[in-house]
Amino acid sequence: MNDDESAASGWFAGVDPGDTEAARAAIRDGEAPETADWPTLAVESGFADTETEYYDLLHEATTAATRAEVREREQADDQQLIHAIRALDDCQRVRNELTERVGEWAGSQDSDADVDSEYIADLAERDPDNPMEERLVSLAGRIVDLEDETQSLQTVVDSTATSVAPNLTALAGAELAARLIALAGGLDELAKKPAGTVQVLGAEDALFAHLRGGAPSPKHGVIYTHEYVRGIRPEDRGSAARALAGKLAIAARIDNYSGEYRPELEDELDDRIERIRAREHE
């Protein structure tokens, strides 16, 4: 390839040095059949006056390309699912903390107060008699609002998880699927993890303690919330966790690389868990 052909294949070919958007697109989408002395060719083609200017323009273009990639990544469905499940957790945490506070506060005014969701809903509708009670009623209203928001977020998580990861959601349920994706950092990252890593996601503290030699190896992480792990007798829980993690790892890969729903994964997992449960009767 001669210099003219090389210059024509450079990312800067046909790009106005002041057009950052065009440079960004060229950096991201362009390709060349082979490497070349791009700084020299850029100067010879008139794209830059000096090699130093070429590197400045290259830095500007690559920075813009990176920023655009990050924006697109953040807007991806799996990343939106991560934000939704984290928001759901935040709402539940704050709701629980406020419920405990309102319970203590209401109990100080009425020793017979039975603080449950119905009591808080009624309290939120009460006409306060003094400034202190006004604040208590206001807090109760915030709890009711957080409960409504939690339900709305749960609906979003359910629908988005099914769309983003149909196989993973079918096996794990929407909430656990979303938590696994969040813990991994995304569906692509989860799909790259071996089953053994999927098994202990969420148990990082226990795993690090084990690696330091001060604790036993964890058998499971967040997948403990799954019925197929939590509902198994303790001596078989490790086997169940391995079986579940293995299928979840496969499901994540299928969802990430093809998106094709495979109902046979559910049947295979059900059969494996049934064989594990049968040990109780041996």
Q: What is the pLDDT of residues 21-77, one digit of tens each?
A: 788 787 777 777 777 888 888 888 888 889 899 888 888 888 877 776 666 555 468
The CA distance from 251 to 256, in Å, is: 9
The CA distance from 190 to 252, in Å, is: 7
pLDDT of residue 25: 80
CB neighbour list of residue 278: distance below 8 Å, 6 or more residues apart: none
Q: Measured at the alpha carbon of residue 72, what is the angle toward residues 69 and 75, in degrees to the nearest 5?
A: 150
* pLDDT single digits (tens) 80-120: 999 999 999 999 999 999 999 999 999 898 887 788 889 99
Contact 10, 3 (CB under 8 A): no
Contact 70, 51 (CB under 8 A): no
